[in-house]
């Protein structure tokens, strides 16, 4: 049974293509739609929100920390400032949507609860203090994913 020579060459070309790996010298170009490209204005807004949120968290945390260390009483406004800054920061910084919205929702609920009750107890200060330390440690040791730069 003799086969057609054209079929043999087509069959060997297909087999060669399936065995031969992609060469790294000829990368496949990616289309611009594959990348999640942010406009300059979006990036600037996120940076501004990160800065404002971090400043609000810092100002609120400093007042809570000084109050806890000296035993002085504080009003609810530094706590509200702290939690709203945390919500702003989470919105602009956290990439995983579930974590982002959990942090934002939790901080908004806490701020509204403090506003409703109108007082800050001693143990509230320590929960905020240690919670802040845990949050900073978590995000400090999380390695960011770097985008691939291509060849």
Strand (E) or helix (H) holding 86:
helix 77-93
Residue whose token pair is 């790996």: 21
Whether the pLDDT of residue 18 is over 80: the answer is: no
Q: What is the pTM of this model?
A: 0.66
Q: What is the pLDDT of residues 45-68, one digit of tens each?
A: 889 999 999 999 999 999 999 998
pLDDT band at 35; cut points 50, 70, 90 = very low
Whether the pLDDT of residue 89 is over 70: the answer is: yes
Q: In angstroms, what CA-CA distances link 151 with 28, 33, 147?
A: 11, 19, 13
> What is the distance between the alpha carbons of residues 38 and 20, in angstroms, rounded to a whole number?
37
The pLDDT, as a whole number, for residue 113 is 93
The pLDDT, as a whole number, for residue 34 is 42
In the chain the first and final C-alpha atoms are separated, in Å, by: 49
Q: Which two tokens stand for residue 4?
A: 């057609």
Q: Strand locations in 13-136, DSSP E?
A: none
Whether the pLDDT of residue 17 is over 90: the answer is: no
Report the percentage of the chain scoring pLDDT > 70: 72
C-beta atoms surrounding 118 within 10 Å: 8
- Mean predicted confidence (pLDDT) in 1-5: 56
């Amino acid at each position: 049974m003799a086969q057609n020579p054209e079929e043999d060459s087509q069959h060997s070309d297909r087999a060669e293509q399936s065995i031969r790996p992609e060469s790294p010298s000829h990368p496949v170009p990616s289309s611009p739609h594959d990348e999640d490209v942010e406009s300059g204005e979006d990036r600037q807004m996120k940076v501004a929100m990160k800065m404002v949120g971090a400043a609000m968290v810092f100002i609120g945390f400093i007042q809570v920390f000084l109050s806890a260390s000296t035993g002085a009483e504080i009003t609810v406004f530094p706590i509200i400032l702290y939690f709203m800054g945390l919500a702003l920061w989470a919105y602009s910084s956290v990439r995983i949507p579930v974590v982002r919205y959990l942090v934002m929702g939790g901080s908004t609920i806490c701020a509204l609860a403090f506003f409703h009750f109108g007082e800050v107890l001693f143990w509230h200060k320590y929960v905020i203090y240690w919670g802040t330390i845990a949050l900073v440690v978590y995000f400090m040791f999380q390695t960011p994913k770097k985008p691939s730069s291509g060849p």
